[in-house]
Amino acid sequence: MPTPFQDAVYKALLKIPKGRVTTYGEIARYLHTKAVRAVGSAVGKNPNAPAVPCHRVVLSTGKIGNYSGEGGVDTKKALLTEEGVVVVNDTILNFKDVLYTFS
DNA sequence: AACTTGACAGCAG
DNA sequence: GCTGCTGCCAAGT
């Protein structure tokens, strides 16, 4: 049973369109909190996987960040590439172009 | 109830 | 652009 905070985070994740990514900071802003760490923890637990596209969340610096699924970061990069996001090593190319800000 | 941990962000050097 | 330190809040121990 997820906490209300986690539920809010997952709900936010579902709003991310395919081929786009968002940052923990943007999610925190969307939830009206500065607890980016808490957001990261909530996503990391991800009890709703794969119902929630948790692989579309990256660092504000354009780097991939971390991943707790199959194969770790490697799979995360692969998934993003599948969705149309170009990733080199651990960095997203044209990051600002694919970034989703919950407009 | 107190302390530690964590899929981070922002700034200084 | 990279390394390191600080600040943030929720969850788990």
Annotated catalytic residue within A12, A42, A54, A57? A54
The answer to whether the C-beta of A91 is closer than 7 A to strand B is no
Residue–nucleotide distance: A77 CA to B3 C1' (Å): 35
Report the protein residue whose CA lies nearest the C1' of nucleotide C10.
Answer: A38
CA of A62 to C1' of C3 (A): 17
pLDDT at A48: 85
Q: What is chain A's pLDDT, residue by residue, as a tens digit (103 residues)?
A: 899 999 999 999 999 999 999 999 999 999 999 999 999 999 999 878 888 999 999 999 999 999 999 999 999 999 999 999 999 999 999 999 999 999 9
pTM: 0.94
Q: Is the dihedral of CA A50, A69, A45, A91 positive or negative?
A: negative
Respond yes or no: is residue A77 known to be catalytic.
Answer: no
